[in-house]
Amino acid sequence: MSGQYNALQAKFLRENKYAKYLYCASHSLNLVLNDAIHGVLEAKEFFDTVGGLWTFFHSSAKRWDILNPIDADICKALKLLSDTWWSARDEVIICVWNYYLRIMKGLTLIILK
């Protein structure tokens, strides 16, 4: 953890002023992947759309209630995208892939109401 005051980095520096902070390999990979995505317009738009699904449904109790009766598993699987956990993005993409037609049915019901 890289916090300046109470995180692990700060504790190490209090013990040894010469200690160097390095990102772990998986965190560095996540940073590279996020930067790479933001550099490709199509990828950025894709992840913005996928991430927007959770925001769209979760920001309104009425919309969430429309999605829930269609399939309660969608509500469990659909999550907010994480900038630091790449595996969370993978889970959301798999959710959208598996529940695409049901998500579209929910969006259609919202449009028709």
Residue-level pLDDT at 96: 85
Residue 89 has pLDDT above 80, yes or no: no
Task: Mention every residue, 6+ apart, whose C-beta is less than 8 A from residue 3.
Answer: 9, 10
* Interatomic CA distance for residues 5 and 38, integer angstroms: 30
* 1 band by pLDDT with thresholds 50, 70 and 90: very low
Q: What is the pLDDT of residues 48-85, one digit of tens each?
A: 888 888 888 888 888 888 877 766 666 666 777 766 66
Q: Provide the residue ranges of all domains of the chain, joining segments of one domain with +.
A: 1-39, 41-113
- pTM of the shown model: 0.61
Q: Please answer whether residues 88 and 49 qualify as being in contact, where contact means their C-beta atoms are separated by less than 8 angstroms.
A: no
Q: Name the residue among 36, 8, 37 with its Cα closest to residue 22.
A: 8
Mean pLDDT of the chain: 77
pLDDT of residue 51: 84
